[in-house]
Structure 1
Amino acid sequence: MKFAIHISTKNRKDDLLLTLATVYPLLENPAVECVVFDDGSEDGTAEAVKIKFPEVHLLQNKTSKGYIYCRNVMLNETQADVAVSLDDDAHFLSDNPLEIIGEYFKENPKCGLIAFRIYWSKTAPESTKSSQVPEVVKSFVGCGHAWRMDAWRDIPSYPEWFEFYGEENFASLQLFKNSWEIQYMPQVLVWHRVDLKQRKNVTKDFALRYRRGLRAGWFNIFLFYPPGKALRFFLYSVWRQMKTKILRGQLQVVFPVLGALWDLLRLSPNILKNRTAFTPKEFANYTKLKEPKIYWKPEN
């Protein structure tokens, strides 16, 4: 079984180099390759990778084309049987992760994608033990997962017109439509080295992120949900924005919500062109799946 480890990056050289230092020993196995796609970095990322990690296959955009573009190129060009996707600020804490992933795919032929257990923090966990067990879930987190490439080739590529946010859910819905499962596998633990509290603060890119995140959810609703359900879920989402945010004085979301509504209208031709609606039975079965396991906390 051949493995490819895919990492897309932009202007986060130090984070990337730390991640590569943890990944590099895995490349001693000739059946494993690592691909880094530098999306127009201006901090010397490409040069540093070439010098410090010469066995890494480096792809590079001179100007940024977006991380969805980068992920599509890596996935569509690989000859591997399994593609492991990591963020540039995430790395394995489990021993022998690729062996565990390979065995799991062999033992679970319906599994098209493995979602890893992910720990979000700037500091390492005091314990990595977990009592969780594998289970089928609705979706996965971009910073740590593994594709069975037969499943990836069975669905459309990530929609680049999403720009960022929502592409994992798009792929998850496509996998479900094509009778593949997403399985959460806690045996593989990934440390995502981020400060969640800092992420939740209102920063200069808050409005853009809020707008893109909100509209991505609406895109997927209208791409996949049966007509009546789609309209109902969309209206409920708008009502929730009003009730829980705007009417409670969180006026910083007003323009992002209006922008997301405009994006939904502006990009409606893309939605109509790519719509793959669930049947009522498919939708009912989909709603029975468990929610994705996004955050893991060390157990007492």
Structure 2
Amino acid sequence: MEISFLIVTKGRPEELHFTLKKLQSIFDSERHEVLVYIDNCMGTERLQAQFHWVKWYVGKESISASPARNFLYKKAVGEIFIGLDDDAHLISEKPIATIQFYFNANRSLGILAFKEVKGIFKSKSEINLENEKEEFLTTEFIGSGFAIRKEVYDETSGFPTWMDIYGEETCLSLEVLDLDYDILYTNQVAVNHRIDVEKRKLQGKNYFRFQKQLQNSFRLYVIYSRRPFRKIVKLLFHNFKKYALSDSRYFSLYAYALGNMIVLLPTMLQRRKKMSKATEQKLKTLKRIPY
């Protein structure tokens, strides 16, 4: 099997339906497989009858994004894994052939990070894709669209089961880099992440994301950083000054996250897997991907 498409979904049956219809147009059953994990969503389960060529996995209890990815990726057998969000689809020309070309041309390539185009468009012609080629080695990938070599993924711990959402891509990226593989960003493979950008701007503060990212950043530093103390102090000070002092809800979530850090610290220390000095230095030289 050459390619495994992997999608974790929860509560977005219409978006998933759209994504699978797009995948169907490039799917070859002899060379490709599509695996979908439904994270406790009865509405989405109804789609199984419409897409018999998909390998479905259904969780009756919600386990959240990262543990679901960890489960699903163990089931895949393709030489290359292509991860997509349930509301994202490939929009570049001949994406599979392009992805395979990059991996075949460079044995040191662990992850191919795709260009993410955010927004809801009536047609593909509305999407502005640059003609000029852009690519560079980078620190991580965006979860809405990326590819990873199976043998590289299998060398890592996989997506973390000790994290639920917001930060799992960083964990996997750090482990891939620490194994001395590269992460390459290219705009030659692009995904349309179908989110309403203007609506999200109007929604303003995202309290849920704030709490999760604060807790998970702490865990990342404890597990992977060579000298986590200074980074944790800076993390706590920055979030206290910028968010916790700005309104009472942020303050409460900050306090809750702080308590969570203290309680889970012994467990996180047991998972410690600090990166090498070479990886730490390499991270300082790499360009970050555009969000």
TM-score (structure 2 length as normaliser):
0.92
Q: Which amino acid aligns with 1:183?
A: L
Q: Secondary structure at the match of 1:276?
A: coil
The equivalences for 1:228-243 within 5 A come to 230-243=228-241
Instruction: Say yes or no: does 1:244 pair with 2:242.
Output: yes
Q: Which residue of 2 aligns with 1:298?
A: none
Q: Which residue of 1 aligns with 2:184?
A: 183
Using the TM superposition, give the Cα deviation of residue 25 of structure 1 relative to its aligned residue in structure 2, in angstroms.
1.9
Q: Which residue of 1 aligns with 2:290?
A: 293
Q: Secondary structure at the match of 1:151?
A: helix
Partner Cα distance (2:46, 2:244) in 1: 46
Q: Which residue of 2 aligns with 1:79?
A: 77
Using the TM superposition, give the Cα deviation of residue 151 of structure 1 relative to its aligned residue in structure 2, in angstroms.
0.6
Structure 1: runs of 5 or more not aligned: 295-300
Partner Cα distance (1:185, 1:208) in 2: 31
Count matched residues.
Answer: 287
Q: Secondary structure at the match of 1:35?
A: strand
Q: Which residue of 2 aligns with 1:113?
A: 111
Q: Secondary structure at the match of 1:146?
A: strand
The equivalences for 1:20-169 within 5 A come to 20-43=20-43, 45-50=44-49, 52-123=50-121, 125-169=126-170
For structure 1, which segment, 127-136 or 55-64, has the greater mean C-alpha deviation from structure 2 after superposition?
127-136
Q: Cα deviations across residues 149-207 of structure 1 (Å, max 9, x unaligned)?
A: 0110111122222111111101111111111111112101100000234335257xx43
Q: Which amino acid aligns with 2:173?
A: S
Partner Cα distance (1:140, 1:98) in 2: 18
Q: Secondary structure at the match of 1:141?
A: coil
Using the TM superposition, give the Cα deviation of residue 281 of structure 1 relative to its aligned residue in structure 2, in angstroms.
4.1
The equivalences for 1:192-203 within 5 A come to 192-200=193-201, 201-202=203-204
Superposed structure 1 runs of 4+ greater than 4 Å apart: none
Q: Cα deviations across residues 79-108 of structure 1 (Å, max 9, x unaligned)?
A: 110110111100011121111101110011
Partner Cα distance (2:90, 2:187) in 1: 12
Partner Cα distance (1:255, 1:19) in 2: 38
Structure 2: runs of 5 or more not aligned: none
Partner Cα distance (1:80, 1:233) in 2: 38
For structure 1, which segment, 6-15 or 276-285, has the greater mean C-alpha deviation from structure 2 after superposition?
276-285
Q: Which residue of 2 aligns with 1:273?
A: 270
For the 8 Å contact 1:130–1:186, the answer to whether it is kept is: no
Instruction: Say yes or no: does 1:212 pair with 2:212.
Output: yes
Partner Cα distance (2:224, 2:32) in 1: 36
Instruction: Say yes or no: does 1:253 pair with 2:250.
Output: yes
Using the TM superposition, give the Cα deviation of residue 26 of structure 1 relative to its aligned residue in structure 2, in angstroms.
2.0
RMSD: 1.8
For the 8 Å contact 2:240–2:254, the answer to whether it is kept is: no
For structure 1, which segment, 26-35 or 187-196, has the greater mean C-alpha deviation from structure 2 after superposition?
26-35
For the 8 Å contact 1:140–1:293, the answer to whether it is kept is: no
Percent identity of equivalent pairs? 24
TM-score (structure 1 length as normaliser):
0.90
Partner Cα distance (2:277, 2:61) in 1: 44
For the 8 Å contact 2:35–2:76, the answer to whether it is kept is: no
Q: Which residue of 2 aligns with 1:297?
A: none
Partner Cα distance (2:63, 2:181) in 1: 29
Partner Cα distance (1:246, 1:263) in 2: 16
Partner Cα distance (1:33, 1:255) in 2: 45
Q: Which amino acid aligns with 2:15?
A: D
Using the TM superposition, give the Cα deviation of residue 41 of structure 1 relative to its aligned residue in structure 2, in angstroms.
0.6
Partner Cα distance (1:27, 1:280) in 2: 42
Q: Secondary structure at the match of 1:26?
A: coil
Residue 280 to residue 113, structure 1, CA distance change in 2 (3 Å):
closer
Instruction: Say yes or no: does 1:225 pair with 2:222.
Output: no
For the 8 Å contact 2:83–2:144, the answer to whether it is kept is: yes
Q: Which amino acid aligns with 1:129?
A: E
